[in-house]
């Protein structure tokens, strides 16, 4: 929707990421790690901090791909998300939810 509305691809990527970030937090907290309600807001703050770092890294990778190689921004988003997802998962799991075993 944002792409169709003419929103710049970097802004589009950041907005989309933070919307997805809030939904992912709920899903990870209650379904993946089954943590319940205790410490919800403290963990969400950590999740948002990690999310901001991940969004920044994603934007840098995306800009490098689009501006450096000239590929379509939608393909660049897919590639940048593939590259950043494993790093994000480990950061979210180990620091946000404080789960040490992988």
Query: Given this model, what pLDDT does residue 83 score?
Result: 95
Cβ atoms < 10 Å from Cβ of 94: 14
The dihedral built from the CA positions of residue 65, 71, 73 and 79, taken in this order, carries a sign that is negative
Two tokens at 52?
């901001």
pLDDT, greater one: 3 or 102:
3
pLDDT band at 68 (very low <50, low <70, confident <90, very high): very high
Average pLDDT over residues 34-51: 84
What does the alpha-carbon distance between residue 22 and residue 36 come to, in Å, rounded to a whole number?
16
Among residues of the chain, what percentage have pLDDT more than 90? 25
């Amino acid at each position: 929707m944002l792409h169709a509305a003419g929103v710049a691809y970097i802004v589009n990527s950041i907005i989309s990421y933070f919307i997805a970030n809030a939904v992912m937090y709920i899903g990870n907290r209650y379904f993946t790690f089954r943590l319940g309600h205790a410490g919800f807001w403290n963990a969400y703050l950590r999740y948002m901090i990690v999310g901001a770092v991940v969004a920044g890294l994603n934007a840098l990778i995306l800009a490098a791909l689009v501006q450096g190689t000239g590929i379509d921004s939608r393909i660049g988003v897919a590639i940048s998300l593939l590259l950043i997802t494993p790093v994000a998962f480990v950061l979210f799991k180990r620091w946000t939810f404080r789960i040490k075993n992988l």
